[in-house]
Amino acid sequence: MTEPRDPPPPANHQPTELHAPGAVTEPDPVAVPDPASAPTVSLPVASADTIDAGSADSSPRPSSPADPAAGPGTSINARYVVLGEIGHGGMGRVLRVRDEKIQREVALKCLLSEDGEPGSARDASTNTRTRRFLREVQLSGQLEHPSIVPIHDLGESDGSPYYTMRYIQGRSLAEALRQDPTPAGRLRLLPHFGDICNAMAFAHDRKIIHRDLKPANVILGEYGETMVIDWGLAKVQGDFDDSDRRLATELRQIQETDDSATVFGTALGTPAYMAPEQALGRLDEIDHQSDIYSLGAILYELLTGVPPFSGGHPHRVMLRVVQEPLTPVRSRVPDAPAELCAIAEKALQKDKRLRYDSCSEMARDVSSWLSGEKVSIYAYSNWELVRRFIRRNRLAVSAALFVLLAIIGTAVFMTRAWRQESEARTQAQEASGREFEARQQEKRAREEEKRQKELAQDSLSRKIEEERTSSYRLAEAHLARAEHLFKERFFLEAGLQAAAAMLHHPGNPSSPRVHPGFCGGKPDCVNLTARALGLYVMARQSTHMTFERRLSVDPPLNLDLYTRHRLHPTPDSKHLAIVSNEQALRVWNTGTGVLSHKLAGHAAPVCQAAFDATGTRLVSVDQNGEWIFRSFPDGRETHRLPSDLDTVFFLEPLPGTGDLIAGLMDGRMFRVDTVSRTLVQLWPELGLSLQDIVVSPTGGHIAIFDRRGVFRLFDVASRTWRITERRRSEAPTSYGTFTASGTSFVFPDAMANRLLTYDAPLWKVGREATMLGSTGGEFYHSLVHQAGGGEKLFAEMGNHLQLLAGRDLKVLQNFQHLAPVGSVRTTEGKVLVLGSRSELQMFRPAVAGREAVLAAADGIIGLIHPLDARTTLAATLTGTTFRINHPENTVNELGRRFDGYVWAADLSPDRRTLAVGSWDHTIQLIDYPSGGLRPDRVLRPDRVLRLDGPVTYVRFSTDGRRLFAATFKMLHVLDTTDWKTLDRHIIGVVSGNGPPVSLSRRFIAFHETDEEISLFELETAKLSAIKPDVKNLLEGATRFIDPGVLIVQDDAFCLHLVYPPVKKPRHTLCGLGSMLATAALNSAGSLLLAAGDDHTVRLWSVRDGRLLLVLPTVVGQVASFDFGEKNILFERGNELWRIPVDTTLWNLPATELMKSAEDLSGLCLEGSRLRPLHECRKLPAR
């Protein structure tokens, strides 16, 4: 939804002049007219109160309109009565007349003779003027448009031609600009400018160009009309007439003289609004784009108050038009709308090819700006797009406010009803006491009491229903927010929103707001709890880091949040020293959140401090260069060492040693021996001004950045330097980090929006990744590696954190924070974030074994086949087959790549041969567990079996002697000793819409007719049939799965579980939104897992038919239980995901689930806002 920007016309406008289109005057031959307002040929426009209206009542006198004596009351051709003169000049005269036939006022324009007097000889010049006059009438008459003055009549009186047109009462655009010169006032005229563009687009479609567009030639009616007038210079594009010859003559006259008294005649146009090709006299280049240039000049004046080029002799103005570059609009008016500036500056391009192709395109852009739509030529920044998005979604905020007001109103109404009911009961009690005196009054009181009670009950029922509906809408909003956050990888927040959806859903049996029968069988309502729980489980399974605690810092620290190297934990993370601009050094116990030490002794503010590798020594240095060595945790001072090192900004342990590394801003670096308490300079002075220092986790290298952004690496062992080779496109960078292995250095190139890695041993650019995606955001402010967390990195972006994979630099998880993120430090098992001067946040790794992604492939996962408790076979729609070893977390490719989908697989009973079938009509026989193709001599040279069609089903017999392979129409029985065909059976399609996951080893099922399903027994080759008691079966969705269950689907996509030979379904499970792809039943028969074409995986409780989980996928191609039925395996695009079958979650009260989500994220929801957890629970920060 867009936000219109339609500026209203000027309020309380009073017309001051009467205008007629085509009215012209001769300019002062000495003084050059103001280019912003003077028309090419214009007459002073008469004021309405200067016309003698009384003369119109006198008897009309016949006369020629060209006669100067033809004043008010004069009759022209016995039809028009002159009311007054609007204006006249050397060429024409414009009168205000009344049409006696139609009884309306019109404007009449007549042609004067060469000397301005009637009756002069009609020489060649007069004939030329007459042709031009008639040409103007013909061109104007062809243009029937609301913003072009219509021609009513053309006639002749006493040999003098005339024509009549609409009479407009208003003011010119030039006058409107002078009357209200403020930017807001000028922008209110923009709708009129859109009308001008539309009018010119209409004229251009008819090959007519104006050649003299300017504010003075635009009339604004007092009722909002916009009229383009003075078509005296107009011509048909491509024609060459006497106006072109006059234009060439006048251009030559102006170019040959520099006299300010040069006559600026009727054919030239106005230099300030003239296109460069017109100013150069290139008549053959003047076309509709010349008018577009003039429109751009008018819009430029609307935005700035002045034309783009003005001042001085017309020749000099034309020179500026041709030669001088255009002054940008915002150079004159910085607050001018950027989109309008772009429109004006495009139209004012000196090169015609760079202007708008047509007035229609320009009109559409102006209309788009007025209506709040995007302007086609303007390049919007990310921030501008965000603001537009916020404006478009104001309706959602309004709707939320409306709901809140409705709830408040309902509460007020209920309170009033309750009071009424109470009063009624009181009245009933009083009536009971007066029973003997007024029995009739008691009866009426009881009736009133009954009526009030019914009203109260009805109001209460309505209130409860409205509350339930509001709660359901709130649950929907939380779920939508959770889905968005999950997509953006804010897993902690997504889990919290999903838990909130389950808490507020009145159709959730575990919610305190539950109301039986609320959903009434509506699929979206019924499925909401399962969708929310599925999203919660996936978010929890995808979480790498969870919130642990919040530590309060009181009094607040005295430091700049964006200064790095302020957090210094002990190696065991039990204590944390924070360096502030204070003389005392404060140390906190991270387990209790209590300030454990406040170590004084420095005479100046502390520059830096650090623990050694053992955590038993604490070293600090102040701004005077004095070092203090302390034992820890007793905090006892053991040694002081004065020095001249007064600008130490870096002090960190050197991994693999007990020493510290100290860096100064002047480029010096020292190795601090904490035992002998000595300082050894690492390298001679380099004459550099350092910006940052990074020590590799292995201690093998030290990276430094100088203030010019140069990146150097120091090899600690060889004491040699290496200056990295930077790309020319790379911007100077002053921060980065080593990966945990120390073999790569990662830093952001903000100008190129890339993350770059320099890889050992050559330290050249290896991997790259995009920093900001299409959704925008902030560039990284800092990068640190996750200590003890594998090859992972933490990136700080100002308002949230990102966890990145060190191998491919992909985002693993995002973290929201409710305070400006400042310094970030990682330790073994913790991430410390100094979010503000008074608060420290701590995160810890998620529970081990919760990794959601088992493997990533080179294509969409199309097959999942658990082989045993340790191994799962998977394949892709691009033809790759691979094996996943769960204990070792390894992935190995099997066989060769197929040329089609990999659809079916089975492992022989002796576990030596793996048969894998594909839609490329082949079966690969793979040696297991080596993974290579079997070297059987009887096979073809390429070691594959070729069948007559796509392979949709592969199963070994129970004794392993036969292999059953099905194509779309044929079942092949192969001998596994020589792989020759033993038998063929014509069958229907088996597993055509999804791979044969969990299909039975005894029977295959396929449709014989719309109602009848054939069952083929593999061992005996017997064929039987069954007609399930289910109407409208879907062909292609039938599965016969272990342990002997036939699954069919109807046209409502409900699944029916049939146990042959019984025809009636034992269970019916609804909720799937499209055709079934795969289905699996656990060994207990209590859980059914199905994947469908609606891009979801769903899990049902078979006993009660309740939908438990809905897991969103990319394709919905395949899902299966793992071998031990403890996890659900399913595809999400090219990733194989694993979600635990956690039965405790399905019956967990929604309040407990919400509490678990809050504890996991450290956040809570107050209404729709995220807040720190301790603020919602009113508990002190931990």
Mean pLDDT, residues 94-121: 77
Does pLDDT of 93 surpass 90?
no
Residue 218, SS3?
strand
Angle in degrees, 0-180, between the axes of helices 394-433 and 382-392, rounded to the nearest 10: 30
CA distance 873 to 894: 9
Q: What pLDDT, on a 0 to 100 scale, did the predictor assign at position 256?
A: 58
DSSP secondary structure letters along 280-342: TT-GGG-SHHHHHHHHHHHHHHHHHSS-SS--S-HHHHHHHHHHSPPPPHHHH-TTS-HHHHH
Amino acid at 999: L
Write down which residue in 543, 561, 584 finishes a domain. 543
Q: Are residues 606 and 479 in the same domain?
A: no
Residue of 351, 223, 231, 248 lying closest to 293 (CA atoms): 351
Q: Are residues 517 and 369 in the same domain?
A: no
CA distance 747 to 738: 9
DSSP secondary structure letters along 1037-1051: --EEETTTEEEEEBT
Structure tokens at 11: 């309020």
Write down which residue in 513, 543, 573 finishes a domain. 543
Q: What pLDDT, on a 0 to 100 scale, did the predictor assign at position 930?
A: 85
Q: Are residues 816 and 877 in the same domain?
A: no
Residue 442, SS3?
helix
CA distance 41 to 109: 14
Q: Are residues 558 and 538 in the same domain?
A: no
Does pLDDT of 264 surpass 60?
no
Residue of 827, 792, 829 lying closest to 813 (CA atoms): 792
User: What's the pLDDT band for 207 if we cut at 50, 70, 90?
Assistant: very high
Q: Are residues 88 and 156 in the same domain?
A: yes
Among 237-246, 367-376, 488-497, 647-656, the range scoring the smallest mean pLDDT is 237-246
CATH of the domain at 118: 3.30.200.20
pLDDT digits 0-9 by tens, 77-92: 889 999 998 887 667 8
Q: Does residue 62 form part of some domain?
A: yes
Q: What is the DSSP letter of 137?
A: H
CA distance 504 to 873: 40
Residue 102, SS3?
coil
pLDDT digits 0-9 by tens, 846-881: 875 567 888 888 899 999 999 998 999 999 999 999
pLDDT digits 0-9 by tens, 752-762: 778 888 888 88
Does pLDDT of 561 surpass 70?
no
Q: Are residues 809 and 901 in the same domain?
A: no
On whether the CB atoms of residues 1094 and 1072 are closer than 8 A, the answer is yes
Q: Does residue 1016 form part of some domain?
A: no
Cβ within 8 Å of residue 782, ≥6 positions away: 564, 735, 795, 796, 823, 824
CA dihedral angle for residue 654, residue 659, residue 665, residue 669, rounded to 10 degrees = -90
Pairing of strands 678-681, 690-695: unpaired
Q: Are residues 475 and 424 in the same domain?
A: yes
Q: Are residues 818 and 888 in the same domain?
A: no
Q: Are residues 270 and 349 in the same domain?
A: yes
Does pLDDT of 8 surpass 70?
no
Q: Are residues 532 and 644 in the same domain?
A: no
Q: Are residues 637 and 525 in the same domain?
A: no
CA distance 668 to 644: 12
pLDDT digits 0-9 by tens, 797-848: 777 888 888 888 888 898 876 666 668 888 877 888 887 888 888 888 887 5
Structure tokens at 1106: 């309740």
Angle in degrees, 0-180, between the axes of helices 523-542 and 491-504, rounded to the nearest 10: 150
Q: Does residue 1119 form part of some domain?
A: no
Q: Are residues 399 and 379 in the same domain?
A: no
CA distance 478 to 504: 9
CATH of the domain at 355: 1.10.510.10
Q: Does residue 559 form part of some domain?
A: yes
Mean pLDDT, residues 639-654: 92
Q: Does residue 914 form part of some domain?
A: yes
Write down which residue in 945, 963, 986 finishes a domain. 986
CA 801-802-803 angle, 5° bins: 130
Domain extent at residue 596: 550-845
Domain count, the chain: 5
Q: Does residue 69 form part of some domain?
A: yes
Q: If you average pLDDT over every residue of the chain, what do you get? A: 83
The maximal CA–CA distance of the chain, rounded, in angstroms, is 124
Name the strand (E) or helix (H) holding 663: strand 660-664
CATH of the domain at 676: 2.130.10.10
User: What's the pLDDT band for 124 if we cut at 50, 70, 90?
Assistant: low
On whether the CB atoms of residues 274 and 296 are closer than 8 A, the answer is no
On whether the CB atoms of residues 956 and 915 are closer than 8 A, the answer is yes
Q: Does residue 2 form part of some domain?
A: no
Structure pTM?
Answer: 0.61
Q: What pLDDT, on a 0 to 100 scale, did the predictor assign at position 476?
A: 92
pLDDT digits 0-9 by tens, 1080-1136: 999 899 999 999 888 999 999 999 999 999 999 988 789 999 988 899 999 998 999
User: What's the pLDDT band for 692 if we cut at 50, 70, 90?
Assistant: confident
What's the Cα-to-Cα distance from 672 to each of 635, 651, 679, 682, rounded to whole Å? 19, 9, 5, 10
Q: Does residue 1174 form part of some domain?
A: no
Bridge partners of 856, per DSSP, are 1135
What's the Cα-to-Cα distance from 1124 to each of 541, 854, 891, 1140, 1141, rounded to whole Å? 19, 16, 20, 11, 11
